[in-house]
Amino acid sequence: MPRRVAASNSCLPFASGPLCAYSLRTGQVEHLQEAANFCAAIQERGYLRDANAPAEDAGAAAVLRRLRFAARYVVVALLLERLDVARAAAADLAAGVAAARAVLTPTDAAAWAQTHRDAAAFVEVGRR
């Protein structure tokens, strides 16, 4: 049985750490576009593709990295009004949340499920 881990902010993922976090704090369009391009390249190259696989000790960190990446990608896409990209990232977040249930503590799994519901609601509102 995989070991359950608690989510922490101690290890920001390389895939969306400093660049995306800075872009979200400043809100400058140029930085948001750069973050979106960076996230799209990560998706295209499949750097986090295996993170949704059943995880063991090292895999738990990968699942958390994938969840944080998908959540940030949804926010960046929504801020840039790229609804198709936000919809795809929200679907990716849903897949990550489903995979994370086996690895995360019940409290953290519930928090990520709520994050997905919130992201899906924002995407739905953006459609209108």
Confidence of residue 30 (pLDDT cuts 50, 70, 90): confident
> Any idea where the domains of the chain sit in the sequence?
18-127
Nearest to 93 by CA among 52, 125, 128: 52
- Tell me the per-residue pLDDT of 59-79, one tens digit each, with 9 for 90 and over: 677 888 889 999 999 999 998
pLDDT value, residue 26: 63
pLDDT exceeds cutoff 60 at 91? yes
pLDDT of 23 = 55
Q: What is the pLDDT of residue 2?
A: 44
The DSSP output letter for 51 is G
Phi, psi (deg, nearest 5) at residue 104: -85, 160
pTM: 0.72
Number of neighbouring beta carbons within 10 Å of residue 114 = 11
- Helix axis angle, 57-79 to 29-45, nearest 10°: 140
The pLDDT-based confidence of 21 (bands split at 50, 70, 90) is low
Compare 21 and 8 and report the one with higher pLDDT. 21
The CA distance from 27 to 8, in Å, is 25
